[in-house]
Amino acid sequence: MEGFRALGLSYKTAPLEVREKVTFNDVEASQFMTKLKETLSIEEALLVSTCNRTEFYYNSNTDIDNEVLSVIASFKAISSEELMKYFNFYKDEEAAKHLFNVSLGLESQVLGDIQISNQVKRAYQQSADLELAGPHLHRLMHTIFFANKRVVQETRLQDGTASVASVAVDLIKGFVGNIEDPRIALVGLGEIGQNVLENLDGIEASITLVNRTKSKAEKLADGKNIKVLELSDLNQALSENDVIISAVSTASPIISASNFGEGVLHKLLIDLSVPRSMSDDLDTVPGISLYNVDQLSERTEKARKLREQAIPSAQEIVEEELLGFNSWKSEMGVSPTIQRLKSTLDQIRKEELARHKKLSDKEMELLEVVTKSMIQKVIKLPVLQLKAACKRGEAETLVGVLNDLFNLESEEVEKK
């Protein structure tokens, strides 16, 4: 796996205010990847950017981590020195294993998070669209997707609902199921609010974002059919929407019974704020269903425990699939030698046949079939031995022997 590298930051190494600065939307990601392709001549690359992590993977014979970091810093108008202390760096097998763990949700803030797999798939599709996915990345990604399928089928890593945000969205799905043209308001767009917004993608509903900083809401709503209001318009949001989720940071409740007039209500209110942003007196309002963080957390505890128990099994799958990928990588390394050997033996065969000019066409056709079959049988054992040597990590020695015996390297030079 020589030449595969990764660098990036995540919720484990950087606070939200830092992660926000280096998050890439789809347009920015495309521009960034194109710039790297042009300036650093990178041929294979993958950019995974979510609210919890921004990581860049690439295949190169030389270490260009610092150059990549400089391009990120320049693109985001941040100093490289400021970013360096938050970044982790991986290389070779460690980088591939990290991508496995990230893609399978083993590195997620919510263990087993199923969203990250789809986010990685979108990142891979973008790499392919930009012609930055070569043989190595294609094989690696499809091996990871197969590993993820195994994890789903063979473990309980993704069983149940393991985050407060996803539990909240499950509640919303049940509530709006019988409402025609449901309307949902999300108040507060910090880390939790953004997580809820991502989870809302699968719900057919009109969405309104309410935030102190309107520009941030507009940025998140960009390109989507989402309405944006300022926090000063909170009463309008409460009146117009069937579901209100609050993830706003506040010292005391900003939503109470007094915000709702008289009449028959049918509303779901979910308070994800700590301290709470919704008052207890909302429980006394007819037609309002109120849930807070503690109530939602109770639903996630069982799922968390099941997922934690599944970690060893998931890690075993990663090791098995990574081993298979390494074998493929090693075999790819000896593939040129196999092709040169086949070419050399076939050239010998053709030269020998050319010496027998008195043979009839029918005799020559028969010899073509016989000699090709012989070459196939002769080469079978060296190929099998090469592949076995790859698994033992001894391929280099056997490649050297074949090069010396058949003068393969000079044959290649002559062709060039």
Nearest to 181 by CA among 150, 206, 210: 206
Q: What pLDDT shows up at residue 396? A: 66
Q: What pLDDT shows up at residue 123? A: 96
Q: Which residues of the chain have pLDDT under 70?
A: 1-2, 263-264, 331-336, 386-387, 389-406, 408-416
pLDDT tens digits along 301-353: 778 888 999 999 999 999 999 988 887 777 666 666 777 777 777 888 888 88
| Cα–Cα separations (whole angstroms), residue 317 to 88, 108, 144, 213 | 24, 17, 10, 44
**Rg over CA atoms, the chain:** 29
Query: For residues 387 and 330, what is the distance between their CA atoms, to the nearest angstrom?
Result: 8
Q: What pLDDT shows up at residue 347? A: 82
| Cα–Cα separations (whole angstroms), residue 378 to 345, 348, 372 | 9, 13, 10
14 touches 86 (CB < 8 A): yes
pLDDT tens digits along 377-400: 877 877 777 667 666 666 666 666
Q: What pLDDT shows up at residue 274? A: 78
Q: What pLDDT shows up at residue 415? A: 45
SS3 88: strand
Q: What pLDDT shows up at residue 8? A: 95
Looking at 48, 51, 133, 167, which residue is catalytic?
A: 51
Instruction: For the chain, list the domains and their CATH numbers.
Output: 4-159 (3.30.460.30), 164-302 (3.40.50.720), 334-415 (no CATH)
pLDDT tens digits along 7-38: 999 999 998 788 888 989 889 999 999 999 99
Residues 6+ apart with CB under 8 A from 255: 187, 234, 238, 244, 246, 269, 271, 277, 278, 279, 282
Is-catalytic flag, 390?
no
Q: What pLDDT shows up at residue 15? A: 87
Helical spans, DSSP H, in 104-250: 115-129, 135-154, 164-176, 191-199, 214-221, 234-240
Q: What pLDDT shows up at residue 416? A: 43
